[in-house]
């Protein structure tokens, strides 16, 4: 998946760097939906997401004259956006540490408590009701911010591992490790949730 890599070529870097407003407006049009979506998934609040959106493009506009093009324009923009979003989350919980979250250490030592209900056979209509949709959102919000941001970029927005790593300024190995943890955690949550649904269903 290289959806980010090539998209930046649509823009004239020269015009953007020199503060050309029409070209900047095109950039805003091109990426504002995606920046807003990412912000919403990370901060889970419409007003905060709007702040992140505005701040991202204000910073981008100010930063463009110094943009050297070492990463793609899109990657650079999403890096600003994810940093802004994580800053909002951090302000809410000043004690939260982004990098070293030991919440999975027990599992890593092999003490997995796996849910083994096979809920795949449930009818699609029951897997996706309004109620289950909001549970899915909630489960994602329950991930630590470091795991959530990787899951959002990779699995929701469809970035490649490399694109996710570039946007977050971490190694691909770090992305892979966090992605695995996020996916395992969500699978666990959903298995528990749908397990209960299945039990209720067969009790009827």
Partner 1 sequence: MNDKKCCHELLNSISDYLDGTLEEQHCRELEKHLKECENCNTVTNTMRKTLDLYHQISKKECLPDDVRNRLFECLQLDEFIELE
| Nearest approach, Cβ of residue 33 and partner 1 (Å) | 5
| Nearest approach, Cβ of residue 186 and partner 1 (Å) | 5
Distance CA(130)–CA(65), nearest Å, equals 46
**How far from the centroid of its chain's Cα atoms is residue 50's Cα?**
16
List the one residue out of 177, 169, 179, 164 whose CA is nearest residue 2.
Answer: 164
Please count the other Cβ atoms lying within 10 Å of the Cβ belonging to residue 104: 17
96 or 195: CB nearest partner 1: 195
List the one residue out of 42, 32, 146, 56 whose CA is nearest residue 88.
Answer: 42
90 or 176: CB nearest partner 1: 176
List interacting residues with partner 1 (CB under 8 A).
Answer: 21-22, 24-26, 28-29, 32-33, 36-37, 46, 50, 53-54, 57-58, 61, 110, 112, 114-120, 127-128, 133, 136-137, 140, 155-156, 161, 176, 179-180, 183-184, 186-187, 190-191
| Nearest approach, Cβ of residue 95 and partner 1 (Å) | 29
51 or 101: CB nearest partner 1: 51
36 or 96: CB nearest partner 1: 36
How far apart, in Å, are the Cα atoms of 56 and each of 20, 81, 147? 18, 5, 21
């Amino acid at each position: 998946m290289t959806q980010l890599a090539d998209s930046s070529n649509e823009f004239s870097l020269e015009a953007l760097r020199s503060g050309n407003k029409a070209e900047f407006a095109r950039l805003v049009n091109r990426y504002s939906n995606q920046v807003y979506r990412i912000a919403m998934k990370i901060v889970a609040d419409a007003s905060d997401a709007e702040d992140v959106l505005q701040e991202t493009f204000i910073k981008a506009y100010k930063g463009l004259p110094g943009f050297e093009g070492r990463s793609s324009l899109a990657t650079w923009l999403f890096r600003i956006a994810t940093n802004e979003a994580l800053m909002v989350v951090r302000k809410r919980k000043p004690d939260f540490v982004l990098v070293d979250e030991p919440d999975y250490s027990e599992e890593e030592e092999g003490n997995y408590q796996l849910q083994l209900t096979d809920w795949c056979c449930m009818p699609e209509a029951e897997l996706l009701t309004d109620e289950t949709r909001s549970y899915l959102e909630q489960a994602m919000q329950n991930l630590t911010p470091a795991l959530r941001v990787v899951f959002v970029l990779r699995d929701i927005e469809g970035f490649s591992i490399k694109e996710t790593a570039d946007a977050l300024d971490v190694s691909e190995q770090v992305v892979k490790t966090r992605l695995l943890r996020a996916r395992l955690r969500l699978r666990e949550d959903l298995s528990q949730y749908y397990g209960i649904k299945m039990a209720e269903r067969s009790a009827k």
